[in-house]
Amino acid sequence: MEMTYVKAINAALLEEMRRDENVFVMGEDVAELGGAFKATEGLLEAFGEERVIDTPISEALIVGAGIGAAVLGMRPVLEMQFADFISCAFDQIVNSAATLRYRHGGRAACPIVVRAPSGAGIHGALFHSQNPEAWFTRVPGLKVVTPATVYDAKGLLKSAIRDNNPVIYFEHKRLYRSIKEDLPEGDFTVPIGVAELRREGTDLSLITYGGTLAQSLDGARIVEKEDGLSVEVIDLRTLLPLDREAILATARKTGKVLVVHEDRLTGGIGGEVAALIGEFAFEYLDGPVRRLAALDTHTAFSPPLEEAILPNTNKIVEAIRDLAAY
């Protein structure tokens, strides 16, 4: 069945709420409005106001109440209307949810999912464009997933809901209705913590995730056609825990690695990937591990300025060629 990215998210929620009566949805405008992006459309009619709950505009309240419900055996899916505002719930996520199992010696679980619509390229400017995933990838007790395809949008969300740990699920807003895919009928999940080989290659490895996967694949096709370069593309899919084996295997295979993400360069997950390769695959490298990311600045509202700030296919092609020529 052909679905968009946002419809896959909606379908995953619908299926998991039918499968497990402990699953419920909570957030701003998720009930009557069906969510700002319609990801929760139809859930109120299907399950009622006790399982699809509109909240005040307070991300700290949404996550805090979700943690309490999770401790009592529920499986809340908590929507941040925009990922930018997840900062308002930072203390609840990092100091309460992430530490809960450790604090109780493994005798308690915190099975919450925090859905965070993230990403730029939609002219959302300062407060509706950020990619804040790296804030959370250093926190023990959390899991962080970043689906880039329709299949993964559904499969990773289902896995996140079934997981007994707090999972932050970053869904890229630009992908909501821009990509479609035929999905298989019936139940399926995508494992958390496992990267996916999207394209085989021998000359250079490109490691990416989320909103820059499609751009990376386009770039790989362009340099193959115009330069004869064979580029391998790895989609991380999960940022915490990282699939270290997949990262090191591709680095050892090609000897040259480019890491691409839409998050800002400084402090982004690309630095951790580069350090991992430098520490454990250095002797296989034929060039420095390169990073391509957003500039270290705030996202502009102006479309030309936004384009200048963000990575794109042309910038990826240029970075591939520069590294290949090293």
In this predicted model, what pLDDT tens digit does every residue of 54-94 receive, in sequence order? 999 999 999 999 999 999 999 999 999 999 999 999 999 99
Are 180 and 4 a contacting pair, CB within 8 Å?
yes
Tell me the average pLDDT across 251-261.
98
pLDDT tens digits along 98-156: 999 999 999 999 999 999 999 999 999 999 999 999 999 999 999 999 999 999 999 99
Backbone angles phi, psi at 120, to 5 degrees: -115, -165
Q: pTM for the complete prediction?
A: 0.97
DSSP state of 95: I
Residue 53: pLDDT band by 50, 70, 90 thresholds? very high
User: Where would I find the H helices in the chain?
Assistant: 5-19, 43-47, 59-71, 90-91, 98-103, 150-162, 213-227, 244-254, 269-280, 303-309, 313-324
How much of the chain, in percent, has pLDDT values that exceed 70?
100
Q: In whole angstroms, give the CA distance from residue 264 to residue 8.
A: 28
How much of the chain, in percent, has pLDDT values that exceed 90?
99
Q: In whole angstroms, give the CA distance from residue 238 to residue 119.
A: 16
Q: In whole angstroms, give the CA distance from residue 124 to residue 289.
A: 31
Beta bridge partners of 196: 235
Question: Which pLDDT score is estimated for 1?
Answer: 87
Q: What average pLDDT does the chain have?
A: 97
How is residue 179 written in tokens?
């990509």
Backbone angles phi, psi at 54, to 5 degrees: -80, 140
Told to judge if 123 belongs to the known catalytic residues of this protein, a careful annotator would answer: no
Question: Which pLDDT score is estimated for 325?
Answer: 97
Are 285 and 251 a contacting pair, CB within 8 Å?
yes
Q: In whole angstroms, give the CA distance from residue 6 to residue 10.
A: 6
Angle CA 169–174–179, to nearest 5: 95
Question: Which pLDDT score is estimated for 292?
Answer: 98
Tell me the average pLDDT across 152-161.
98
From residue 17, how far is each of 46, 273, 311 by CA, in Å?
Answer: 9, 36, 37
Active-site hit among 128, 172, 261, 298:
128
Domains in the chain with CATH codes: 2-182 (3.40.50.970), 196-324 (3.40.50.920)
How is residue 318 written in tokens?
């240029």
